[in-house]
Copies of this chain bind each other. A is one copy, B any other.
Amino acid sequence: MSSITEVARLAGVSVATASRVVSAADYPVSAATRERVLDAARELDYVPNALARGLLTRRVPVVGVIVHDITDPYFSEVVRGVEDAASPTGHLVITCSSERDPDRERSYVRLLRSMRAAVVIFAGSGLADPDLEAELARHLGAMRAEGAAVVHLSPHAGGEPEVGVDNAAGIATMVAALAELGHRRIAFLAGPRSLHVARARLAGYRAGLEAAGLEADERLVVSTSFDREGGALAVDELLAAHAGATAIACANDLLALGAMTRLREHGVRVPDDVSVAGFDDISVAAITAPSLSTVRLPLRELGAHGWSFAERLLRGDAPARETLPTTLVMRGSTAAPPTAPGGLR
């Protein structure tokens, strides 16, 4: 593979000049010389060595994205957003599926550091592990000191993310929409109490209730795991409590899907007897029967904003924290409450 030395030799100039031409430095080079160098580069099929360049600039045009699992549509959307934003500037995206395993996360960050990645974006941070925290903090500190940018995206265990999503407001608009349809008793499937996101969404539910002038009833709030299984269990619990809900808002689409399945098993019709609403708008939501009313998270934008935040960091700016808005998506799983006194009893 040809190096810049060979390009310079073929063009009959010094390597310095050749370098200035091919790397488009703002250094004066006469048009004739430039042309000769470009010709030589073309002829030799010259591709600059990013390693040598990175060795000097202490940074390689690569952005690492730490996700839980690239297979999860949530994360692949975010990664795609990063990629779309980063690739026009010649940056490559490295995906790191940590599986929330501290060891994997640790080793990924170490690898990224050894590679002198310009940017690290945390899209799904690991669970709290003091040991990991410490090592991570050390690595991240060192990387920042080296000039790399580190950005945290929305669900971030260790505090406020640099770029977030307004979970609370999102849920609140859904609650408002349900109230608008005429629902007075709106249940909420909250997901695990331990997760930061879940807590934010629960807060949004409460705020939405208050804004709509509805009474809060703790019997209407059920905490379970963040998956379909949890949604099904929560429905059982709601039925057992005879809480009389006419609508069920969920902290998560998977919860909503699980709830719908279980409701069907109990012979409860959606949305005729009970309305169900999700959160996230994963791609399945549009194709279930009935299709799921939900709140769309701007996942691609989240990734893109994460990149642009990092880019500004790289330039030495101190960008302001951002919060991205969600959008309401009303589909077939919600309707006005039944006129006859109904709901889950």
Contacts and interface: CB of A to CB of B under 8 A. Distances in A.
Contacts of A30: none
A284 interface: yes
Given A54-B51, A83-B70, A284-B284, A111 B90 contact: yes
Specify which of A115, A146, A283, A288 lies most central, judged by the most chain B CB atoms within 10 Å of its CB.
A115
Residue among A71, A84, A289 facing the most chain B CB atoms (10 A cut-off): A71
Interface stretch (A72-80, A166-174, A193-201, A235-243): A72-80
Interface in A107-138: 107-108, 110-116, 138
Contacts of A114: 47-50
Nearest to A254: B287
B60 A115 contact: yes
Contact of A142 (B1, B48, B96, B264): B1
A39 interface: no
Residue from A47, A69, A288 whose CB has the most chain B CB atoms within 10 Å: A47
Given A90-B111, A114-B50, A289-B289, A45 B284 contact: no
Contacts of A115: 50-51, 60, 62, 92
A142 B83 contact: no
Interface in A84-112: 84, 87, 90, 92-97, 104, 107-108, 110-112
A83 B54 CA distance: 24
Given A79-B95, A94-B94, A145-B1, A60 B51 contact: yes
- Of the candidates A48, A73, A76, A139, the one having the most CB atoms from chain B within 10 angstroms of its own CB is A76
A261 interface: yes
Contact of A289 (B73, B77, B96, B264): B264
A52 interface: yes
A231 to B, nearest CB: 11
Given A76-B76, A114-B50, A83 B95 contact: yes
B83 A92 contact: no
A76 B93 CA distance: 14
Given A288-B288, A288-B289, 20 more contacts: A1-B146, A45-B138, A47-B139, A50-B114, A51-B52, A51-B116, A55-B55, A60-B115, A62-B94, A70-B76, A70-B79, A71-B76, A73-B76, A79-B95, A83-B97, A84-B97, A87-B108, A92-B108, A93-B96, A284-B287
29 contacts: A1-B142, A1-B146, A45-B142, A47-B113, A50-B115, A50-B116, A51-B51, A51-B55, A51-B115, A60-B115, A62-B115, A70-B79, A70-B83, A70-B95, A71-B73, A71-B76, A83-B96, A87-B104, A87-B107, A87-B108, A94-B94, A95-B95, A228-B287, A261-B287, A264-B289, A283-B284, A284-B284, A284-B288, A287-B288
